[in-house]
A = this chain, B = another copy of it.
């Protein structure tokens, strides 16, 4: 398998440095690489030759320079190396194929089967991954591995999903090992918010932002000076219990009354909508039914239903209080919202969120913005695939463990 030999050769630190420079800065010439890496001209020449032979990078047409030899731009070979990203949200299962140039080659979103055992989920992911790779015409041996983003809490070191409140049948699931057995691929497990922030960072010019994840649950991640914070146990971002409305109604729900989750996750929104007479209460053990009811609620608001609009407006105001807590605490200049539930809420939330958060800020800010993600609702799967690329291709070995 090409993969094995790639990995062996990438044990060469200098080669990883050069490949990483090319991957992150397409168009660099050998002279650029020499200057940026501090390596000798002959070393750069040898490394780039080996990378070209392994089809990991390629040369473009030389550009004319005023003097001397023409400068040949180098770039990673998008068809040379791939990774798979998977995101398990309780309502939506996303599977994505990423190439080393950062392009999403294909992605699918399925409705997550409800009340499914971890074993059935593992089989479904393995089958769907195989189909995605086949349909895309990619050589499976060129796929470095599979990254999987899941709701926390989890143990990243051992690759175990602990006891996510939104996956009630999942307790201490060895998801990384099971997926490795089912696919034969190296598997990396990480939290949905961490994967999402990683994808956002890669597709943004900003090095400092707070990422708010909205799916079946709500979470947060922080990017500071270009680094994604992950927390000491890799479980950053549990923000659902933050109190945002002391006078909030009782939802008869497991989440904290008046908390951020009770203010904005689909399950809480559809309970509120049901209490307001907007729609019948769906089966709350069925995240698909909840997700569909949430879609109905946002469609009602879009079609002019003022009760639905007021409900979502109130939700946005409450979310602003929660974001205000985090911005006041960490002093970040930018907030980015994304995740599977975000697109449906964006049209109500975005017009009011920035001003509403500003009114919560203790320190006045000239530069402050609240925006929607640039990546799209596949963001967590894309980030999981990016994390696999980083694990194998970045010159500093990741702390993450893989099966």
Residues of A that sit less than 8 Å from B by CB: 152-153, 162, 208, 220, 222, 224, 229-244, 246-247, 257-258, 321, 324-326, 328-333, 360, 362-365
Contact = CB atoms under 8 A, between A and B. Distances in A.
Given A244-B243, A333-B232, A238 B365 contact: no
A233 B329 contact: no
A329 B237 contact: yes
Nearest to A210: B329
17 contacts: A208-B232, A220-B329, A222-B330, A224-B229, A230-B331, A232-B332, A232-B333, A233-B331, A233-B363, A235-B363, A236-B329, A236-B330, A236-B331, A237-B329, A237-B331, A239-B328, A240-B362
A235 B233 CA distance: 26
A240 B361 CA distance: 11
Given A235-B363, A329-B329, 12 more contacts: A208-B232, A224-B229, A230-B331, A232-B331, A236-B331, A238-B329, A239-B325, A239-B329, A241-B325, A242-B325, A243-B246, A326-B329
Given A232-B208, A233-B363, A365-B233, A328 B238 contact: yes
Contact of A331 (B162, B235, B258, B330): B235
Contact of A238 (B233, B236, B258, B363): B363
6 cross-chain pairs, A with B, having the tightest CB-CB distances, nearest first: A231-B331, A246-B246, A243-B243, A238-B328, A153-B363, A238-B362
Nearest to A362: B238
Contact of A330 (B153, B231, B242, B247): B231
Contacts of A258: 243, 246
Given A329-B220, A329-B238, A362 B153 contact: yes
Contacts of A152: 363
A234 B331 CA distance: 7
A18 to B, nearest CB: 21
A220 B233 CA distance: 21
A394 to B, nearest CB: 17
Contact of A231 (B153, B321, B332): B332
A247 B237 CA distance: 26
Contacts of A224: 229
